């Protein structure tokens, strides 16, 4: 499956051991992980500004995400659905990556439940969703 991880999942998985780190570790060998330029830029910004990562550490994370993920550049205009314009970029990433699911901790996105028939799932619900059916 192709699973798009939102910025907050990547950040949580990078800064602490827990559900998001386990989810990332599980997905790397089993699923395709698209990473848009927008999500990558947001990860870098948050790690630098909010968590004080050094430029060297941020470069390592960027190289790692490009290596394990399927990097792509967003094109076009994001939809105008969400209250937070950043969330619209995530939805554009879902659409352009042709993801099978979006994993996020963002309540506004989770409230949508799906976007263009693509399920939006919380990290804690990922395994149940992955094995649905």
What is the rounded distance in angstroms from the CA atom of residue 127 to the CA atom of residue 20?
A: 12
Helical (H) or strand (E) element with 49: helix 37-49
Nearest CA among 48, 41, 124, 120 for reference residue 82: 120
Q: What is the pTM of this model?
A: 0.95
> How does pLDDT run across 4-46, given as a tens digit for each residue?
999 999 999 999 999 999 999 999 999 999 999 999 999 999 9
Question: Quick one: residue 113, left, alpha or beta (phi over 0 = left, psi -120 to 50 = alpha)?
Answer: left
Q: What is the average per-residue pLDDT within 59-88?
A: 95
Which residues, at least 6 apart from 77, have a Cβ–Cβ distance to it below 8 Å?
A: 92
Counting the structural domains of the chain, the total is 1
Which residues, at least 6 apart from 53, have a Cβ–Cβ distance to it below 8 Å?
A: 47, 61
In a domain, 132, yes or no: no
- Cα torsion at 94, 74, 48, 16 (round to 10°)? 20
For residue 127, pLDDT over 70 is answered with yes
In a domain, 133, yes or no: no
CATH of the domain at 91: 3.40.50.1010
> How does pLDDT run across 32-43, given as a tens digit for each residue?
999 999 999 999
In a domain, 49, yes or no: yes
In a domain, 79, yes or no: yes
Cα angle 37-120-67, degrees, rounded to a multiple of 5: 35
**Residue keyed to tokens 């949580």:** 12
Q: Which domain holds residue 117?
A: 3-127
């Amino acid at each position: 499956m192709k699973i798009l991880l939102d910025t907050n999942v990547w950040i949580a998985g990078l800064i602490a051991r827990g559900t998001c780190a386990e989810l990332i570790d599980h997905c790397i060998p089993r699923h395709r992980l698209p990473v848009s330029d927008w999500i990558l830029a947001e990860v870098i910004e948050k790690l630098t500004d909010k968590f004080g990562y050094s430029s060297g550490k941020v470069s390592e994370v960027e190289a790692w995400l490009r290596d394990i993920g399927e990097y792509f550049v967003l094109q076009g205009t994001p939809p105008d659905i969400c209250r937070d314009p950043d969330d619209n970029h995530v939805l554009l990433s879902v659409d352009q990556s042709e993801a099978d699911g979006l994993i996020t901790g963002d309540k506004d996105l989770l409230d949508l439940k799906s976007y263009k028939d693509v399920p939006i799932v919380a990290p804690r619900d990922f395994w149940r969703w992955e094995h649905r059916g």
